[in-house]
Structure 1
Amino acid sequence: MWTQPAILPSLKDLPPGNNYYIIDGTKVCYNVYPIKNADRETFVCQLGFAKDKNNCYRLGEVYKGADPETFEVLNIYFAKDKQYIYNLAGIDKKVDYDTFTVLDTGYIIHTNNRQEKITSYAKDKNGLWMMEYYSQKPVAIKGIDTDTFTTIDTCYAKDKQYVLWRGKKLKKADPATFEALNFNYGRDARNIYAQDTVLANADYDTFEIVNNQVSLAKDKRAFYHFGETVSEEEFNEWMA
């Protein structure tokens, strides 16, 4: 939903985090940076995108030639108008306009209302596209069946043949039995996985993640930090 920027008396009152603001009731800014020629009366914003009667914007930069009347936000990574799909860098000429569809919002909201980008997917007639946290342009993920593709959590996803972790295929994973334990660990009927790699020496029956510690896990044989074996002392230090 398009909203008007927050109105602040001065830059001294700027809260933390990047956003659009109207300073002194007249000047439109992205964070502390004035947006040249922005129209204060018609300026609205959404998920880092913005528009007024004259232009469309991303992080305060103008999308040249974009049509404000038909400009709409698709998710945190993409927008479109009557002619083009726009990624964070500008017009996206690789994706197919008519069949392009985003498959998620591209972000999660934490309990403190902080917005965080996540691994995000979109599709068109040519296949699957992925955006990552710092991506400017989408990456094509080849060999994925978009009709059966679904996300599992913020990093894991699957289709009828593959499980993906941030776009990387888990070559041995079984999509039918795979479950994400958190966004760094998962399991299927046969194996334990750390991100996109089989934990070959993990004990399947006793393997467990540690609550609220997304990097840590353990079983009766070992302790793990991001899938790497660590000592019990190191494990406890990470827990502290």
Structure 2
Amino acid sequence: MKKLILLWFLMMCIGGCDEKMIIFKCEGYAEKDGSNCYEIKVNKTEVDVATFECLGNGYGKDKNTVFRFHTKTHFDASSFERIGGDYNKDRNGVYYHEAKIEGADILTFEILGDGVHEVVFAKDSNNAYFIGSKIVDAKAKTFEVLDDEFAQDGDSVYMKDSKILGADVETFRALGESRKDVTGVIYNAEDKNNYYFDRQVVKKK
């Protein structure tokens, strides 16, 4: 991988480039144009080429520094790991992007998902999280994801980081995409009693 990265850089320089900068082309970031590549452009004096590696999702690191795209981050390079989605960790904590998740347990933190939907939910031994924010009152031990917006913990159903009051846990279904019934009511979840659009009851059964 490192040889391929350097070869790409040398090919770019044939057409002319800033001699003070080096560009690494990495795989593992879904762009709007459908490509799966990203660039990390840094000053040659700020990167150790021999130890540089691409990590996906815009990240790369060498023995000293973690970069995201063209910017240095505050992460500890020796212990930095991408957990999955936009969740990361180093020896100092767990992060959503670069924002530290206060109180998150490094040893038990894990992402949640079905491998199909975007990773937004996570949990540790004490709490559940949505895009890095603690979900109040959620029970981490039994917390499970229904899709990329809905989750449940055996007692309550949650839409993103908020509880859906009155939802029946045993019969609640996240439908993935919005649907419309014959009367024109739009909903994206249901249980034995109600149809829901996000957190709101839009029609009773």
TM > 0.5 fold call: yes
Considering fraction of residues, name the structure with more helix: 2
Q: Give the aligned residue type for 2:99.
A: V
Deviations 1:119-145 (A, max 9, x none): 4222122111112xxxxxx11111011
Distance 1:38 1:223, change over 3 A: farther
Contact 1:3 1:46 (C-alpha < 8 Å) held by counterparts: no
Q: State whether structure 2 residue 128 is matched by structure 1 residue 149.
A: no
Cα deviation, residue 48, structure 1: 6.7
Map 1:1-240 to 2 at 5 A. 1=1, 28=12, 37=17, 45-47=25-27, 59-60=38-39, 62-64=41-43, 65-92=46-73, 94-104=74-84, 119-131=85-97, 138-153=98-113, 154-210=119-175, 212-213=176-177, 216-231=188-203
* Unaligned 5+ runs, structure 2: 30-36, 114-118, 179-186
Cα deviation, residue 4, structure 1: 6.0
SS of residue in 1 equivalent to 2:174: strand
Q: Which protein has greater RCO, CA pairs closer than 8 Å, 6+ apart?
A: 2
RMSD: 3.4
Paired residues in the alignment total: 177
SS of residue in 2 equivalent to 1:220: coil
Contact 2:24 2:41 (C-alpha < 8 Å) held by counterparts: no
Contact 1:95 1:124 (C-alpha < 8 Å) held by counterparts: yes
* Unaligned 5+ runs, structure 1: 6-20, 30-34, 50-57, 105-118, 132-137, 233-240
Please give the alpha-carbon distance, in whole angstroms, between the structure 2 residues aligned to 1:82 and 1:193: 41
When the two structures are superposed, what TM-score results if normalisation uses the length of structure 2? 0.72
Please give the alpha-carbon distance, in whole angstroms, between the structure 1 residues aligned to 2:58 and 2:48: 18
Cα deviation, residue 231, structure 1: 4.5
Distance 1:190 1:79, change over 3 A: same
Match of 1:110 in 2: none
Q: Among all aligned residue pairs of Structure 1 and Structure 2, give the percentage whose two residues are the same amino acid.
A: 26
Cα deviation, residue 186, structure 1: 0.9
When the two structures are superposed, what TM-score results if normalisation uses the length of structure 1? 0.62
